[in-house]
Structure 1
Amino acid sequence: MNFQRILFLGLGLILSFSALAQRNGVKYGSSGYSETVNRGKDRFTRLVDDVWFDIKEKDTRITGDSSLYYDKQGIMIVYGDVVIKEGDSTTITAGELHYLMKDNKTELRKNVRYTDGRIVLTTNYLDYFTDTEDARFYNGGKIVDGETTLTAEDAYVVNAEDLIKFYKDVDLKSPEYNLKTDTLFYDRTTKIATTYGPTQTILEDGEVVDAKEGGQFYTASKRVKYQEGKITTESYEIFGDDLFFDEIKNESQAKGNVKVISEENNIIILGEEASTKKESGITKIWGNPVLKQMVENDTLYLTADTLISIDSEFDSLSRLLAYNNVKIFKSDLQGVADSMAYKMQDSMIFFYESPILWSDQNQITGDTIDITILNGKMDRLNVKTKAFTISKDTVGNFNQIKGRDMVAHLKNDQMDKIYVYGNGEALYFALDEKDNSLIGLNKILCSDMKLYFVDGEMNNITFYKDPEGKFIPPHEIEEPETRLKDFQWLIERQPTKKQVLGKYFYEQAPVKEALPAPDKQINPDPVSLEKD
């Protein structure tokens, strides 16, 4: 969209109609006949067939089929195939022209067409005021500038303010986007176009920007700024206090109270800033971003320094990335990590760089962890390299499992079984089933192992490939024996819902209804007080 070219409309009109304003130096004639008619005080000259008027000072010629020229009153009326030519560049055609010299007003009617070799203006009603050099079209008009077309019901060229103002059903079509609004002002000095009220822009790539309070279009930098609205892409709706579009970078941005919504994935992301690029399919959200996703009857909350959504024509390549200080919260799962990748089609979440997960009284650590979600619930955890699981039992003892890799299966959101592959070590406390008194401590070394759980607590272990173990009775247990190497109980890092949501936490808190004052107690239903 190049509003700068609309400037030529105002300039062309000024040159053309200023020429018509000259009272002296006007020559006229016709190829048919001319006659002077006296009707009381009215005296005019009638010209018929190939009428022409020459205004030599401006190199302007007006032609038409017939004319009435009121020399004393300063009125020129030209009918039928009116043509105004200025030099070799500017041409205006119309079905009728009225030039009111005393009112400094020129009226062009019926199929008006203005062209200067750069733009084409068409309307049925065009007025020009020679004293102020202002112009107006109304009841519908269209401007074509190369590949850009602008239509509106009314438009004004306000010379004193150096503005062109468009009103009512303004519609601008360009190769880059289609803009619809009700009011648009173009400042010819700053080359900034401003819309007021609801404005919709449909971009070439299919994105739609809806602004409640309008926007500003900077033609020099090819940037657009919208006030309070949303950007609609194939995957998201992006809301913000301010919206921006950079034509050079082909990038849309939102700032202030940003909300990104994906109905397909049932995801809402809140943040301070967001940007999206259609070509790369990348949407980035930062400034304390928080993701919320409904998972069955629960909500998964996730935060990080930066969230990035990558959309691809291949669903398997679409994913959500989180970078730096990742925290997640779900009623049955909490975690921290340096970074994360979420493959939504596969329902898999990958945690990188020494992640920690907590589920009930279980803590899981490793170099990387991935979670598979099935039917809205966690189904499996894969822990790769330096896998370490710690479970706190009912009396506060820490049962520990470690190995090279680990696969944990869950059932009804509780640990069901765990497989350990390579360098397996187990340490678990045996308790009396009756009173939970300590029976002893078991320590096992093996290659692989399989653990079974009941109600989330370890119930049985199977060891594979030359297991070595020992049982330590209670009176021989010393503190170093209760911890495997690299043991770290990191419960202080377990994030709470408030920590993950940050400033958005209070938006989630239910509003408690205040109790009525004693003198305003609500009477119970009288039916409920009746005796049986």
Structure 2
Amino acid sequence: MDTISILKKKVNIYLFSSLLLISLPNIFCQENTRIQIDSAGFFEKDDKKFTKATVLTRDNKNKVKISHDGVDMWCNQAFFYENRNYIEAYGDVVLKQGDTINLNSQYLEYDGDTKIAFASGKVKLSEPNSVLFTDSLYFDRNKQEAFYNNYGRVIKEKQDTIDSKIGNYLLENKKYEFKINVLLKNPKYKINTPRLDFYTENGHAYFYGPTEIKSKDSNIFCELGYYNTNNDTGYFIKEAKVDFNNTTILADSIYFNRNLNFASATNNIKIIDTINENITKGNYAEIFKDKDSMFITKRAIIASKQNKDSLYIHSDTILITGNEENRVIRAFKNARIFKQDLSGRADSIHYDKSKGLAQFININKKLDLSFTKSKKPILFNFNNQITGDTIILKFEKTTNKIDSLVVFNNAFIIEKDTLGAGFNQISGKLLQGKFYDNELKTIDIIKNAESIYYLRNDKKELVTIDKSKSAKLKIFFKLTEIEKIQKINQIDGKTYPEEEFTENIQLLKGFNNRLNEKILSINDLFKLEKE
């Protein structure tokens, strides 16, 4: 016998002895039953050749049959140590317990006192829902547990296979405990984990430690999770992450349905879209990958890359639909927008990428909401406050830069006078603005145009204050401030020295100073929730 074989035998003897010691309390608590020899073709008892053993050998028709306390065993040959209540079985060994457990091997040791069996050589353990294959296996009938420590493979319903270095099967719970280099393979996915608990009856798998689930359409990572192999649903926590090709979802916990290609995430959510170059955050989200749609709520925010800047949209709920060419973002219930040169808010903001349009609107004014009644959609571009019933921003499709602006009904622009306490003001029915490099350059006010303008010279000295009404106005901006106002078809107008411009004529109808609402940072998006 070579050295390796001797070492293996010593290891097996040690493990078998350890199991025997563990089972001693059970041994002394119950009356031992004797192993029964039911049938054998040949009996041989020769103490000189086989010390204290009876040799049982099959004949041409039947195997040796042995039974003990609820199990039946068959083999080609057996050594029966009657004084020790012990069997060594060789060749095509079968151990059967009840109608559910079958153990096949080439060699088997069975102790009738401890009810512990050790099987080796092409070991196969079968139960109604799975089959285990391994080189060697320990079976403790008192605990109703089977154990291997030198790699094994479990096959469930011919499609799920589970490989591991160490495995423990709890018969009463119909549960496997796999440890070290665990790999669950399915035609649709693979699960790699250091530890896996698997219930053969319902196909539920629980994994512990860094785990990866790989498939054609998605990759999943977590350090603690659950997966139902029967209906392909799972729940993952602790460093949970799901990769849908070009979309990555990170959250405290993630539910996943493979059949629907659906995921829902809860708390500290971060969704990275590499195709559209945006990141979405919130505390609850649902993602329908096949429909190219998702919604996110509870401090929801989406950040989209725009050249060297980023555009942030925040609201109570954000709904995103469509593929990368037809992406539509709908932010509703107190929506806000922020980038370095632009910010604003409205009841809802709709952004259509294919059209390059962002629409700021109020919800139904009949609803009893104080925000809807008292405030209109608003934009801030540098020092300018722009309001109206509906605001539309148009973006260049290739660069995502702001191209133009349209304000429908009750358009109003406010700009704080650079040195004094007054406000430059422009109002009208329709506003059309033009941007260059994201900076407002010109504005046309069409119909019912009114203006108040504080005119200063090159030394920034106040020259006069102009108040007028016209059919149309054209406003020119320079360095983000009003440079000139051109009146078309002026109806009425007057200039005032500062001392004659009394308080009762200083404001146009509809004036509402909301400059304090200007969003200056990402944090300001959330501060407004408390107002």
- Partners of 1:347 and 1:373 within 8 A in 2: yes
Aligned to 1:399: 424
- Partners of 2:361 and 2:391 within 8 A in 1: yes
Give the one of 366, 369, 380 matched to 2:391: 369
Counterpart of 2:38, as a letter, is K
Deviations 1:447-473 (A, max 9, x none): x54433222333445556x55343334
Q: TM-score, normalised by structure 2?
A: 0.75
SS in 2 for 1:380: strand
Counterpart of 2:55, as a letter, is T
SS in 2 for 1:23: coil
SS in 2 for 1:305: strand
Note closer, same or farther for the CA distance 1:62–1:71 as it changes in structure 2 (3 Å cut).
Answer: same
Give the one of 42, 54, 66 matched to 1:44: 54
SS in 2 for 1:489: coil
Give the one of 66, 69, 88 matched to 1:77: 88
Q: Distance in 1 between matches of 2:467 and 2:292?
A: 53
Q: Which runs of 5+ in 1 are unaligned?
A: 1-20, 504-532
Q: Distance in 1 between matches of 2:185 and 2:450?
A: 69
SS in 2 for 1:315: coil
Instruction: Report the CA distance between 1:297 and its aligned residue.
Output: 3.6
Aligned to 1:335: 344
Within a 5 Å distance, the mapping from 1:67-466 to structure 2 comes to: 67-84=78-95, 91-146=102-157, 147-158=159-170, 164-174=176-186, 178-185=190-197, 194-202=206-214, 206-212=217-223, 214-216=224-226, 224-245=235-256, 251-310=262-321, 312=322, 314-344=323-353, 348-353=357-362, 354-374=376-396, 375=399, 377-396=401-420, 397-446=422-471, 448-462=472-486, 466=489
SS in 2 for 1:259: strand
- Partners of 1:127 and 1:137 within 8 A in 2: yes
- Partners of 1:34 and 1:46 within 8 A in 2: yes
Aligned to 1:507: none
Instruction: Report the CA distance between 1:156 and its aligned residue.
Output: 0.9
Instruction: Report the CA distance between 1:248 and its aligned residue.
Output: 9.5
Q: Distance in 1 between matches of 2:325 and 2:389?
A: 24
SS in 1 for 2:516: helix
- Partners of 1:53 and 1:61 within 8 A in 2: no
Note closer, same or farther for the CA distance 1:130–1:439 as it changes in structure 2 (3 Å cut).
Answer: closer
Instruction: Report the CA distance between 1:29 and its aligned residue.
Output: 1.9
Q: Relative contact order: is structure 1 or structure 2 higher (C-alpha 8 Å, sep ≥ 6)?
A: 1
Q: Distance in 2 between matches of 1:184 and 1:496?
A: 50
Instruction: Report the CA distance between 1:301 and its aligned residue.
Output: 3.8
Q: Distance in 1 between matches of 2:347 and 2:445?
A: 24
Q: Distance in 2 between matches of 1:469 and 1:34?
A: 128
SS in 2 for 1:500: helix
Note closer, same or farther for the CA distance 1:236–1:480 as it changes in structure 2 (3 Å cut).
Answer: farther
Note closer, same or farther for the CA distance 1:76–1:242 as it changes in structure 2 (3 Å cut).
Answer: same
Deviations 1:19-60 (A, max 9, x none): xx9634431224xx5544432634331415555243568786
Note closer, same or farther for the CA distance 1:365–1:230 as it changes in structure 2 (3 Å cut).
Answer: same
Q: Distance in 1 between matches of 2:290 and 2:180?
A: 34
Aligned to 1:486: 510
Instruction: Report the CA distance between 1:363 and its aligned residue.
Output: 1.0
Deviations 1:64-119 (A, max 9, x none): 44444444444433334334456776544333333243553222223323334432
Instruction: Report the CA distance between 1:237 and its aligned residue.
Output: 2.4
% identical aligned pairs: 25
Q: Distance in 2 between matches of 1:44 and 1:433?
A: 120
Q: TM-score, normalised by structure 1?
A: 0.75
Q: Distance in 2 between matches of 1:193 and 1:40?
A: 48
Aligned to 1:516: none
Instruction: Report the CA distance between 1:135 and its aligned residue.
Output: 0.8
Note closer, same or farther for the CA distance 1:318–1:292 as it changes in structure 2 (3 Å cut).
Answer: closer
Q: Distance in 2 between matches of 1:191 and 1:177?
A: 15
- Partners of 1:326 and 1:340 within 8 A in 2: yes
Aligned to 1:529: none
Give the one of 32, 39, 55 matched to 1:28: 39
- Partners of 1:366 and 1:386 within 8 A in 2: yes
Q: Distance in 1 between matches of 2:214 and 2:56?
A: 53
1:468 aligns with 2:479: no
- Partners of 1:252 and 1:277 within 8 A in 2: yes
Q: Distance in 2 between matches of 1:49 and 1:302?
A: 84
Q: Distance in 1 between matches of 2:141 and 2:465?
A: 105
SS in 1 for 2:299: coil
SS in 2 for 1:317: coil
Note closer, same or farther for the CA distance 1:404–1:113 as it changes in structure 2 (3 Å cut).
Answer: farther
Aligned to 2:370: none
Counterpart of 1:431, as a letter, is R
- Partners of 2:78 and 2:88 within 8 A in 1: yes
Note closer, same or farther for the CA distance 1:289–1:266 as it changes in structure 2 (3 Å cut).
Answer: same
**Bigger mean CA deviation after superposition, 134-143 or 415-424:** 415-424
Deviations 1:205-255 (A, max 9, x none): x3333113x224589996624223322233432323333446898753333
Note closer, same or farther for the CA distance 1:76–1:435 as it changes in structure 2 (3 Å cut).
Answer: closer
Aligned to 1:3: none
Aligned to 1:526: none
Deviations 1:280-328 (A, max 9, x none): 4433333323444444444444432223333x3x433323332222233
SS in 2 for 1:139: coil
Counterpart of 2:511, as a letter, is F
Counterpart of 1:338, as a letter, is D
Q: Distance in 2 between matches of 1:29 and 1:292?
A: 79
Q: Distance in 1 between matches of 2:452 and 2:304?
A: 37
Aligned to 2:7: none
SS in 1 for 2:89: strand
SS in 2 for 1:287: strand
Note closer, same or farther for the CA distance 1:49–1:270 as it changes in structure 2 (3 Å cut).
Answer: same
Counterpart of 2:144, as a letter, is E
Q: Distance in 1 between matches of 2:429 and 2:190?
A: 58
SS in 2 for 1:198: strand
Counterpart of 1:357, as a letter, is L
Note closer, same or farther for the CA distance 1:300–1:487 as it changes in structure 2 (3 Å cut).
Answer: same
